[in-house]
Amino acid sequence: MNPQIPVNENSQVDGNPRLIRQLWEIKRYPIIPAGILGLIILAAVFAPLIAPHDPEFGYLGDREIPPFWSEEGSFNHLLGTDQQGRDIFSRIIFGARISMVIVITVIAIGGTVGVILGMTAAWYGKHVDEFIMRLVDFTLAMPFILIALVTVIVFGQSLWIVILLLAVFSWNGYARQIRADALRIKTEDYVAAAQITAASGFWIMRKHIFPGITNTLIVVATLRVGSLILAEAILSFLGAGIPKPTPAWGVMVADGRDYLGTSWWISFFPGLAIFLLVLSTNFMGDWLRDKLDPRLRQVR
């Protein structure tokens, strides 16, 4: 009687299992979006070291040079130049720094305000909850673009005006989502036990409710990055955002809209940068949601 020969799991049976598992692991993790985000963050942090030219000044003799692969292109200007002779590649790199400053500041302000109001509404309920939720509805009903245009007319263009506008209109999403999670956590047994020991509401929110909504906060903040980038680009495109000649991506797209027929690269490359950043952050947000949500982990 012939003994059974054990089959090695790495043998060539029905293909290569190890290779299949490796490919599946690559599919499960957002390697490409994370790589794009990493490159953009590195460009923002080390912009003065990476950019080959001054982003705000150019030489008129070099205006509207096409990208380096074109016949009239030059390796001195990899992505070409704009109508004022400024290097597109350098302006995109410094534009990444502007975008990161806006995103980090707005998320810090809006997330903090939204978390505080969301937990407060869930914990105290009744009139406090009603007031905060009606305030959320009020801010959601306000026309953001119109208010931004009026604000810029009154106070002028400024980076901090853009940050303030985005922060004022970004906290409501955090407040609504955090309130929903806090209402669920409020009914847990450990919260009831803390109430029996006469713990204060502030202590319970800090020690029990906030740790329970941390995962939700991370996911919401990640998914908000794309909308903030698009909002800043729209404001800059309409002339209500970052003032010229600051190299913001929305400003660059607006500068090239009159040259799309002859110098398409002026608007195309900053628009591509916006697209890649928004798409990457959305992929990362979806991946974090799947990883941090225990219900979705159980499905997998």
pLDDT tens digits, one per residue of 54-63: 888 878 878 8
Residue 250 pLDDT level (bands cut at 50, 70, 90): confident
How much of the chain, in percent, has pLDDT values that exceed 70?
88
pLDDT digits 0-9 by tens, 147-158:
888 888 888 888
Looking at residue 288, which CATH number applies to its domain?
A: 1.10.3720.10
Residue 58 placed within a domain: no
238 lies in which domain range?
A: 95-299
How much of the chain, in percent, has pLDDT values that exceed 90?
7
Residue 244 placed within a domain: yes
Averaged pLDDT for residues 186-209: 83
Distance CA 71, CA 234 (A): 33
Tell me, what's the pLDDT at 17? 59
Residue 254 placed within a domain: yes
Are 179 and 122 in contact by the 8 Å Cβ rule? The answer is: yes
Tell me, what's the pLDDT at 131? 92
Distance CA 244, CA 32 (A): 33
Tell me, what's the pLDDT at 11? 43
How many other C-beta atoms lie within 10 A of the C-beta of residue 146? 9
Residue 33 placed within a domain: no
Please check the confidence at residue 257 and state whether its pLDDT lies above 70: yes
Residue 245 pLDDT level (bands cut at 50, 70, 90): confident
Residue 197 placed within a domain: yes
Residue 147 placed within a domain: yes
Distance CA 20, CA 132 (A): 51
Domain count for the chain, please give it. 1
Are 264 and 88 in contact by the 8 Å Cβ rule? The answer is: no
Average pLDDT for the chain: 81
Please check the confidence at residue 12 and state whether its pLDDT lies above 70: no
Residue 109 placed within a domain: yes
How many other C-beta atoms lie within 10 A of the C-beta of residue 284? 20
Averaged pLDDT for residues 150-175: 87
Tell me, what's the pLDDT at 113? 92
**E strand or H helix that includes residue 212:** helix 210-237
Chain-centroid distance, C-alpha 236 = 17
Averaged pLDDT for residues 174-187: 88
Tell me, what's the pLDDT at 154? 86
Averaged pLDDT for residues 7-20: 49
Please check the confidence at residue 75 and state whether its pLDDT lies above 80: yes
Residue 203 placed within a domain: yes
Please check the confidence at residue 291 and state whether its pLDDT lies above 60: yes
Averaged pLDDT for residues 102-127: 89
